[in-house]
Amino acid sequence: MEVLYRSTRSDAAPVKASEAILKGLADDGGLYVPTAIPALDKTLSDYSRMDYKETAYEVMKLFLTDYTEQELKDCIERAYDSKFDTEEIAPLHEADGAFYLELFHGATIAFKDMALSILPHLMITAARKNHEDREIVILTATSGDTGKAALAGFAGVEGTRIMVFYPKDGVSSIQERQMITQTGDNTRVIGIRGNFDDAQTGVKKIFTDEALRREMSERGYRFSSANSINIGRLVPQIVYYVYAYSRLVKAGRIQEGEKINFVVPTGNFGNILAAYYAMRMGLPVNRLICASNSNKVLYDFFTTGEYNRNREFILTCSPSMDILISSNLERLIYRIAGNDPEKNAELMAALGGQGKYEITDEMKKGLDDFYGNYASEAETAAEIERLYESCGYVIDTHTAVASAVYQKYGKETGDTAKTVIASTASPFKFTRSVMNAIDAKYDAMGDFELVDELSRLANVKVPNAIEEIRTAPVLHDKQCDVDKMQDTVKEFLGM
Ligand SMILES: *Cc1c(COP(=O)(O)O)cnc(C)c1O
């Protein structure tokens, strides 16, 4: 069955998967959604006999129907190789009755590597398939982790350039160091004087600027996106939910068909949307638990039906979730509005204008598969300490938000279904917050001293991604104001 992609905001003709990946965002500013969600075409025990790459092929082929078998398998081979420090790619770690799905074993030790190690290959394959000979310019807004993962993925990839905007004061010091030490002639990293929402809105504005697009095209450039608004980010993320389920079947921890919960620490709503797509493909899911930090827009949305971004933006110790405009929620809104682009566009216009919108009672019924809650800064820190003290397992701040929310969920509902918690970053990426949560005495130590101390404490080798940046020179030190983002892009391209 061929799957096409249509915009969430208009009735424009749907496009093929490779075109949607090349474009990133639809011309009308909408997000591409599949015209139908394909069903899994193997049994759950079939998947339990496959490795990660085989599972990736079986899942992705259902969505990327205009890629040939050879093209897709080549992309998968290049992505899930020795860049990952474990052969399983996404191992499950059982601790205190839950299964932590470790999605941080890739090149930049955050879950963004799961999709961004393959996106550049999907994209250059798409360019070839569509006879695109212009240079592809990837513009990326990052709350900290997408930036480095996208830089690592696209650095040195012929026919592409990548520019990353991150909030200058809104990322961890390790995250910032990872980005500003990035090598590669085709890379550029800019700190903006604003927050992640400013960066994301700025990038979307550049994408939809018709005049700029024409000017770029004349000079042989075209834009695309490595953010989770690109369907090429979402599809590879569906894979690990199927994989996690199949590992539990394989280990005899669940019966085939038994429903499980997924808990996902959420920012832009990409990761949890991938879990939702997996469920709609037929993966047996009980509840999708959406965990927020103190920027709890989504929790409020799930409890009241009103999405309201008019509130203070809080800088937390889980910065990759410091987001008030969760872009990918639009894909869910479109769906619960009955796949109605007009209704969705109306709500998104309200969000752009008044900064809020409210869904109808009918639409609320579409949210029954979700449970939302949040963890405060203190609850997040307490969860890191609790898990370390009770089983010696050290988790990062984002995973801790999810873990703390899972505790709340259990108390509230008494649900005992087996539960997988998406573990989205290595604790080494947020060493200071993690170590302070375990003991305040660590605050006096330097960043890399803390790294070594964490390695001793957790009995885990310091990841390569951290070793690499200990002494690496800073190669990017540019900053810009939010309203100068477009000029900065032009300068990068010599326009
Ligand atoms: C990006 C990120 C998240 C949030 O994921 P979304 O897909 O944006 O919801 C959570 N944790 C970490 C570590 C991340 O990098």
Specify the residue with its C-alpha closest to ligand 1, atom 1: 320
CA distance 161 to 12: 29
Distance between Cα 209 and ligand 1 center (Å): 27
Tell me the β-bridge partners of 6.
Answer: 33
Q: What one-letter code names the amino acid at 91?
A: P
* Tens digit of each residue's pLDDT (9 = 90 or more) over 54-90: 999 999 999 999 999 999 999 999 999 999 999 999 9
pTM (two decimals): 0.96
Atom of ligand 1 nearest to the CA of 145: 15
Q: Ramachandran region of residue 273, left (φ > 0), alpha (ψ -120 to 50) or beta? A: alpha
Distance between Cα 129 and ligand 1 center (Å): 31
Please tell me what DSSP assigns to residue 339: S
Whether residue 463 has its Cβ less than 6 Å from ligand 1: no
For residue 144, the model assigns a pLDDT of: 86
Pocket mutation for ligand 1, best pick of 196, 320, 434 (most atoms within 8 Å of C-beta) = 320
Asked if 430 and 174 count as a contact pair (C-beta separation under 8 A), the reply is yes
**Residue 318, pLDDT above cutoff 90:** yes
Specify the residue with its C-alpha closest to ligand 1, atom 2: 320
Kindly report the length of the chain.
495
**Residue 208, pLDDT above cutoff 90:** no
pLDDT band at 289 (very low <50, low <70, confident <90, very high): very high
For residue 242, the model assigns a pLDDT of: 98
Whether residue 182 has its Cβ less than 6 Å from ligand 1: no
For residues 25-37, average pLDDT:
94
Whether residue 269 has its Cβ less than 6 Å from ligand 1: yes
Specify the residue with its C-alpha closest to ligand 1, atom 8: 268
Whether residue 105 has its Cβ less than 6 Å from ligand 1: no
**Residue 1, pLDDT above cutoff 90:** no
In degrees, rounded to 5, the angle at the alpha carbon of residue 237 between the alpha carbons of residues 68 and 171 is 130
Mean pLDDT taken over the chain = 96
* Tens digit of each residue's pLDDT (9 = 90 or more) over 102-143: 999 999 999 999 999 999 999 999 999 999 999 999 999 998
Pocket mutation for ligand 1, best pick of 100, 398, 433 (most atoms within 8 Å of C-beta) = 398
Asked if 63 and 87 count as a contact pair (C-beta separation under 8 A), the reply is no
List domains and CATH numbers for the chain.
92-109+232-463 (3.40.50.1100)
Strand order in the sheet with 419-423: 92-95, 98-102, 419-423, 260-265, 285-292, 370-374
Which three-class secondary structure state does DSSP give residue 486?
helix
R_g of the chain, CA atoms, integer Å: 21
Whether residue 424 has its Cβ less than 6 Å from ligand 1: yes
* Tens digit of each residue's pLDDT (9 = 90 or more) over 412-432: 999 999 999 999 999 999 999
Whether residue 110 has its Cβ less than 6 Å from ligand 1: yes
For residue 449, the model assigns a pLDDT of: 96
Distance between Cα 211 and ligand 1 center (Å): 33
pLDDT band at 204 (very low <50, low <70, confident <90, very high): confident
Pocket mutation for ligand 1, best pick of 101, 103, 145 (most atoms within 8 Å of C-beta) = 145
Distance between Cα 68 and ligand 1 center (Å): 30
Whether residue 320 has its Cβ less than 6 Å from ligand 1: yes
Distance between Cα 397 and ligand 1 center (Å): 11
In degrees, rounded to 5, the angle at the alpha carbon of residue 269 between the alpha carbons of residues 229 and 419 is 135
Give the percent of the chain with pLDDT over 90: 95
Task: Tell me the backbone φ, ψ of residue 44, rounded to 5 degrees.
Answer: -65, -30
Distance between Cα 431 and ligand 1 center (Å): 17
Whether residue 421 has its Cβ less than 6 Å from ligand 1: no
Pocket mutation for ligand 1, best pick of 102, 176, 227, 266 (most atoms within 8 Å of C-beta) = 266
pLDDT band at 280 (very low <50, low <70, confident <90, very high): very high
Whether residue 268 has its Cβ less than 6 Å from ligand 1: yes
Those residues whose C-beta lies under 8 Å from the C-beta of residue 226, and which sit 6 or more positions away, are: 24, 116, 119, 138, 140, 146, 150, 153, 154, 162, 233
Q: Across 163-177, 276-290, 313-327, which has the greatest mean pLDDT? A: 276-290
* Tens digit of each residue's pLDDT (9 = 90 or more) over 364-374: 999 999 999 99
Please tell me what DSSP assigns to residue 110: B
Distance between Cα 215 and ligand 1 center (Å): 34
Whether residue 271 has its Cβ less than 6 Å from ligand 1: yes
